[in-house]
Structure formats: structure tokens, C-alpha cells
């Protein structure tokens, strides 16, 4: 046994549930369940400084991840991504201590791999027969790949207008691609119906407890890469919110373990002007977000009009003294060029959005010029080649 997972907890009322069976949302409140670990025992039994010697993928943090038997881990080498100091652009902007966490190097080209690896591994350990996945983008590609790796077929549900690259990565991995007339919400309803009908497990964002655990590993990894310190600010392109929520949870666990100390980084959420439910709720001082009407942006990962875990995202932002802001699609695409030209980092538009946000927060004085700040490039620009002007046509 490698995991110190002990129970699941409702994020609304604190009710506890056993972690030894497949679980979706909390039965009491119908909201997000968090995985809770036996932190006192980890503190007594695990030596933080030995973790760095392990293979550089997210499973080096196995004690703080949910899978009991390593045999059940479905891995393609997710995690262990570089933390790159932004040097040329830093000089140009007159800033220092600016970093990019390069999640584009994950299997399937985005950080979705982390969450999907955790959820599918734990699902299999608890007896799931197969998986459904509603997604308009990168989560579907990751689910398709990890199901293939596990020897299963994924049933993916996507809106008709989902990006070609995401449809193709599902097809090439042999998953069953169902194109749904309508929006991501409609795809979600179909996925749940099919899951119930056929005894499959549905992997919808934050409607099961373990994708957030995989994304938590980004925070654990950052702390380790900074020599067991936290940065002062994290700028993150927020869609469903798993990353912000997972990292916030991960830092709190590390603090409780005594593996790090100090203040949590300010969590800064960047959204697209054409879909900014969290920015609006943050600015209005609300604890939950109203769905955004007619959501539209080239950054598919940010096209989440009604995030299920809005309350957890807004809490993480406020709890850490962070903020939320929206940027335009044109600004994102310009920043893709800027990052690639200055640093050789070919970011996805979501990741490039964090650079736009950073520059604005520096100009406004919200961030100091030497504040240790991490921009999350959540995916590879290679999945978004259509956004780059063509050569010869
Ligand atoms: C899914 C996705 C996001 C949003 O991530 P959340 O953690 O769900 O907020 C950002 N960028 C890319 C490339 C994505 O695929
Ligand atoms: Zn509850």
C-alpha cells in the first residue's frame, strides 16, 4: 500500500464518506467531494527529501495521491514538467523571478493528463468497467489516451463544434466519439445517461474526487522545484477550476505536513472576455457564479460557462489575496507569438492568456516587478496550429 488516502469529505457540509468505493458528487449536498489523507502518519513515516530521488513524474507523490496498489496506476509519464525562468521577456518587461510551468510537455499535450491519470487509475482500482467523458476539448483527448493505455474504450461526448485536433486525438486512440447537437452541458447530460445505462463511470470535471488530486500534483511539484518553498503568485487560466482548486488543496496539505511554511501564493484566475463567469462573480463579491451566456473564445479550455466548482475557485482566489481578470482572444494570440519569439515556449492560448494577465497586473501595481510569479502554460501550442498565420496559404 502506497497511498495514505483515508476518506472523502463533502466540501459544503464536511460530511465524511468511505473512500473504498466509486464515488461521484457528495450524496448529502450534491457538490464536490475532497479526498482526505492521513497527514499525521505521512508526517511520521515519509521523508520529504527522498521524494526528489524518485522517477520524475507525478506519481513520485504517491503517498498524497489516491491509488493504493501501484499495479493499478495507468501512466504515460504525466507530470515532472519543467519550471522555466522567463529570461529574455523578463528583461524586456523589466521584471525578475518570473517563471513558466510548462505543462504542454505532458502526454496528450496538456496538464489534463495528470487529472485523468489519477481518476482512471483510482477508478480501475475500485472496479470501474469503463469510462464516459463529456468534454469540448483536451480532457477528452487525455481520457481517450489513458483508456487506451488501460486497455479500455472511452466513450467521449463532444459538441459538434469541438476542435478538430481534439476529435482526432480521440479517434486515433480508438475511443467512441459521440458528437452531440448542442453545448457542453448537453454532452454532459448524455454522458451521464450512458454511464448510468451501461454501468460506466463518468469523469466529468469535479463530479468525481480524483481528477483534482492529479492536478494537485502541479502544486506539490512547484513547491519541490522551488526547493520546498511556494511562489508568491500563480497565474492560472481558469476553466472548470480543477487546477486552482487542486493546487490550493495541495499547498494546504504540504503546510499541514510541515514540508513547507509561509504564505500561500496569490491565486490569480485569468479567463477569456467571451466567457468570464468567475471574473464577474469575483468582481461582484459573490460566492458562486452565474452561468455565462453565449460563451465564445478560441481558448477551448476556458469555454466553461457554468463551472460546477465555482465556490471552491472563488474561495481559493479570495483566501489567498488573489484576483481574477479577463483578456481578449486577440491578446492571447499575440501573447502566443510573444512567448514563442522571446523564450521559445509555444504556449496554448490559455497559457498565453496568463502572460497578458501578468503584464496588466504589473502595470496596475497589483504585482511587484520582482514578485516570484508562475505563469501556467497548461497546454502545447501544437494543439492550436490553426491560430497561427499560415505559410503560403
Ligand atoms: C482544461 C484546460 C484549462 C482549464 O483548466 P481547469 O483546471 O479546469 O480550470 C486551461 N487550459 C487548457 C489548455 C485546458 O485544456
Ligand atoms: Zn454535504
Pocket test for ligand 1, best of 237, 345, 349 (most atoms within 8 A of CB): 237
pTM for this predicted structure: 0.97
Q: Which atom of ligand 1 is nearest to the CA of 243?
A: 7
Q: What is the rounded CA–CA span in Å between residue 71 and residue 64?
A: 17
Mean pLDDT of 124-145: 95
325-338 pLDDT tens trace: 999 999 999 999 99
* Residue of minimum CA distance from atom 14 in ligand 1: 301
Rounded distance, CA 83 to CA 270, Å?
20
| Per-residue confidence (pLDDT) for residue 390, from 0 to 100 | 77
Question: Mutate which of 116, 145, 239, 307 to test ligand 1's pocket (most atoms within 8 Å of Cβ)?
Answer: 239
Rounded to the nearest angstrom, the distance between the alpha carbon of 20 and the centre of ligand 2 is 18
User: What are 339-389's pLDDT values in tens digits?
Assistant: 999 999 999 999 999 999 999 999 999 999 999 999 999 999 999 999 998
Phi, psi of 309 (to 5 degrees): -105, 35
* Ligand 1 centre distance from Cα of residue 248 (Å): 16
Beta carbons of 63 and 4 less than 8 angstroms apart: yes
Least distant ligand from the CA of 108: 1
**Helices 112-125 + 138-149 axis angle, to 10:** 40
Residue closest via CA to ligand 1's atom 1 equals: 301
Q: Which of these, 168, 138, 166, 171, lies nearest to 154 by C-alpha position?
A: 171
Instruction: Out of 238, 242, 279, 301, give the residue to mutate to test ligand 1, the one with the largest number of ligand atoms within 8 Å of its CB.
Output: 301
Query: 3-class SS at 163?
Result: coil
Pocket of ligand 1 (CB under 6 A): 110, 112, 137-138, 205, 237-243, 301, 348, 350, 378-379
> What pLDDT, on the 0 to 100 scale, is given for residue 183?
81
CA of 29 to the centre of ligand 2 (A): 4
What are 281-296's pLDDT values in tens digits? 999 999 999 999 999 9
Ligand nearest to the CA of 12: 2
Q: Which three cell numbers stand for residue 346?
A: 509555444
DSSP 30-65: SSPEEEEE-HHHHHHH--GGGGGGS-SSGGGGGGGS
Q: How confident is the model at residue 184 (pLDDT cuts 50, 70, 90)?
A: confident
Identify the pLDDT of residue 250: 98
Ligand 1 atom nearest the C-alpha of 137 is: 15
For ligand 1, atom 8, which residue shows the shortest CA distance? 240
Contact indicator for 289, 306 with CB cutoff of 8 Å? yes
* pLDDT exceeds 70 at position 70: yes
Ligand closest to Cα of 165 equals: 1
Q: Is the dihedral of CA 142, 144, 145, 147 positive or negative?
A: positive
What cell does 298 get?
A: 478560441
Q: Could you tell me the CA-to-CA distances from 189 to 68, 157, 261, 368 in Å, in that order?
A: 31, 9, 43, 45
End-to-end CA distance of the chain: 56
Give the residue whose CA is nearest to atom 10 of ligand 1. 301
16-18: strand order across its sheet: 16-18, 5-10, 33-37
How far apart are the CA of 241 and the centre of ligand 1, in A?
A: 7
Residues 138-156: tens digit of each pLDDT? 999 999 999 999 998 899 9
Q: Are 370 and 94 in contact (CB under 8 A)?
A: no
Residue 273 pLDDT > 90, yes or no? yes
Q: What is the pLDDT of residue 136?
A: 80
Lateral strand order in the sheet of 154-159: 176-180, 154-159, 131-134, 201-202
Ligand nearest to the CA of 34: 2
Amino acid at each position: 500500500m502506497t497511498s495514505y488516502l483515508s476518506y472523502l469529505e463533502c466540501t459544503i457540509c464536511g460530511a465524511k464518506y468511505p473512500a473504498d468505493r466509486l464515488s461521484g458528487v457528495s450524496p448529502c449536498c450534491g457538490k464536490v467531494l475532497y479526498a482526505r489523507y492521513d497527514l499525521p502518519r505521512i508526517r511520521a513515516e515519509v521523508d520529504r527529501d527522498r521524494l526528489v530521488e524518485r522517477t520524475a513524474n507525478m506519481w513520485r507523490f504517491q503517498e498524497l495521491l489516491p491509488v493504493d496498489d501501484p499495479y493499478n496506476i495507468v501512466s504515460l509519464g504525466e507530470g515532472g514538467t519543467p519550471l522555466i525562468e522567463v529570461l529574455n521577456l523578463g528583461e524586456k518587461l523589466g521584471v525578475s523571478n518570473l517563471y513558466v510551468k510548462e505543462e504542454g510537455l505532458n502526454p496528450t499535450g496538456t496538464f489534463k493528463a495528470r487529472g485523468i491519470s489519477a481518476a482512471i487509475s483510482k477508478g480501475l482500482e475500485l472496479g470501474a468497467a469503463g469510462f464516459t467523458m463529456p468534454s469540448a476539448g483536451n480532457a477528452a483527448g487525455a481520457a481517450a489516451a489513458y483508456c487506451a493505455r488501460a486497455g479500455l474504450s472511452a466513450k467521449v461526448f463532444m459538441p459538434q463544434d469541438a476542435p478538430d485536433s481534439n476529435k482526432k486525438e480521440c479517434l486515433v486512440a480508438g475511443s467512441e466519439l459521440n458528437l452531440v447537437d448542442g453545448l457542453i452541458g448537453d454532452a454532459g447530460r448524455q454522458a451521464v445517461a450512458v454511464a448510468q445505462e451501461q454501468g460506466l463511470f463518468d469523469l466529468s470535471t469535479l463530479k468525481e474526487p480524483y481528477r483534482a488530486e492529479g492536478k494537485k500534483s502541479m502544486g506539490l511539484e512547484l513547491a519541490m522545484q522551488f526547493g520546498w518553498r511556494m511562489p508568491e503568485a500563480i497565474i492560472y487560466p481558469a476553466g472548470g477550476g480543477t487546477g486552482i482548486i487542486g493546487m490550493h488543496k495541495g499547498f494546504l496539505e504540504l503546510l499541514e505536513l510541515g514540508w513547507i511554511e509561509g504564505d500561500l501564493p496569490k491565486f490569480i484566475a485569468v479567463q477569456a472576455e467571451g466567457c468570464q463567469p468567475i471574473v464577474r462573480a469575483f468582481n461582484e463579491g459573490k460566492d458562486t457564479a452565474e452561468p455565462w451566456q453565449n460563451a465564445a473564445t478560441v481558448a477551448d479550455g476556458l469555454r466553461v460557462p457554468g463551472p460546477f466548482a465555482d465556490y471552491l475557485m472563488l474561495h481559493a482566489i479570495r483566501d489567498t489575496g488573489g484576483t481574477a481578470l479577463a483578456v481578449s482572444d486577440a491578446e492571447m494570440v499575440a501573447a502566443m507569438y510573444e512567448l514563442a519569439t522571446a523564450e521559445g515556449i509555444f504556449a496554448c492560448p490559455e497559457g498565453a492568456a496568463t502572460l497578458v494577465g501578468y503584464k496588466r497586473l504589473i502595470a496596475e501595481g497589483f504585482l511587484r516587478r520582482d514578485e516570484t510569479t508562475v505563469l501556467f502554460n497548461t497546454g502545447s501550442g501544437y494543439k492550436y496550429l490553426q491560430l497561427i498565420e499560415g505559410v503560403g496559404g
